[in-house]
Amino acid sequence: MKHKCSFEDYQKSADAIREELGAEFDAAVILGSGLGDFADGLEKMKILKYADIPNFPVSTVSYQKGELVSGVCRGKKILAMNGRFHYYEGWEMWQTAYPVFVMKLLGIKKLIITNAAGGISDRLTPGDLVCVRDHIKLTADSPLRGPNLSQFGVRFFDMQSVYDSSLAALAHKTAKEGGFSLYDGVYAYMGGPQYETPAEIKMLKLLGADVVGMSTVPEVIAAAQCGIRVLCISCVSNMAAGITGAAITEQEVLETGRLIGTRFRSLISGVIEGL
């Protein structure tokens, strides 16, 4: 079986980024739907379009900028993805996780992954922030399906501690100092692009999921293989199907992201400062 992508392809992407944006980043951040304003607050900002990076996928979601942003946040050098890749866009699962392997080659050891998600748990309301401590993936595909690239790690690896407990503790400390709540929860991954049915949400609730979304998990799996430490923060943008009976719209997801922007930026910036 031919490999989906060669190690040299990843290396070419990393070399292009290093040439334009530098290296030796303290952390990387993947920004979810409606949360891209975080990148605008970085100091000493440099921008590189995905389209200008060899072998890199290109965002097709209209409101995502599709660019890598390097800059300084609270004295730390950060690489931020303003726009990510989803399975529902038509990308293969391995392509949705492609940037994480490139981050490994750039020497990144800590990754903050964010997303907009539907709330399932009764204790959550739109605008809440959730520190993801585990996930449920019901889709059969994996970003690692196919021949393994040993440069990134072994094929069979442990997933019990992929969500780093020390980074989660730092996030909770930051939230407490900022005077706002941060919940712990389990993220359920669904392929989309359609939102879930009420029956699917009931099933996920029975399985122990607190939030549901269409991203993040492929990136987390790639990070786990690479040995990159992960903090994942979900913004509850809406209540999931059947919880309130209200129709779910993309506009609601984006608007909630804008409304909690100050709190979200405060949390992420505080965590970065404490790294």
pTM, full prediction: 0.95
Alpha-carbon span 117 to 6, nearest angstrom: 33
With DSSP H G I counted as helix, E B as strand and the rest as coil, what are the percentages for the chain, rounded to 5? 35, 25, 40
Q: Is residue 120 part of a domain?
A: yes
The pLDDT tens digits for 124-180 are 999 999 999 999 999 999 999 999 999 999 999 999 999 999 999 999 999 999 999
Name residue, tokens 């391995």: 94
CATH number of domain containing 105: 3.40.50.1580
The pLDDT of residue 230: 98
pLDDT over 60 at 37, yes or no:
yes
* pLDDT band at residue 1 using 50, 70 and 90 as cut-offs: very low
The pLDDT tens digits for 87-123 are 999 999 999 999 999 999 999 999 999 999 999 999 9
Nearest Cα neighbor of 162 from 128, 138, 137, 141 is 137
Per-residue tokens: 64: 């995502």
**Mean pLDDT within 58-65:** 76
Q: Which domain holds residue 11?
A: 7-273
Alpha-carbon span 236 to 115, nearest angstrom: 9
At residue 20, what are phi and psi to the nearest 5 degrees?
-90, -35
| Three-class secondary structure of residue 230 per DSSP | strand
Cβ pair 261, 129 in contact under 8 A: no
Domains: count for the chain: 1
* pLDDT band at residue 32 using 50, 70 and 90 as cut-offs: confident
Q: Is residue 25 part of a domain?
A: yes
Q: Is residue 1 part of a domain?
A: no
Per-residue tokens: 8: 């040299």
User: How far from the centroid of its chain's Cα atoms is residue 121's Cα?
Assistant: 20
In terms of DSSP H, where are the helices of the chain? Answer: 7-21, 37-40, 93-96, 98-105, 165-178, 198-207, 217-226, 250-259, 261-273
Q: Is residue 2 part of a domain?
A: no
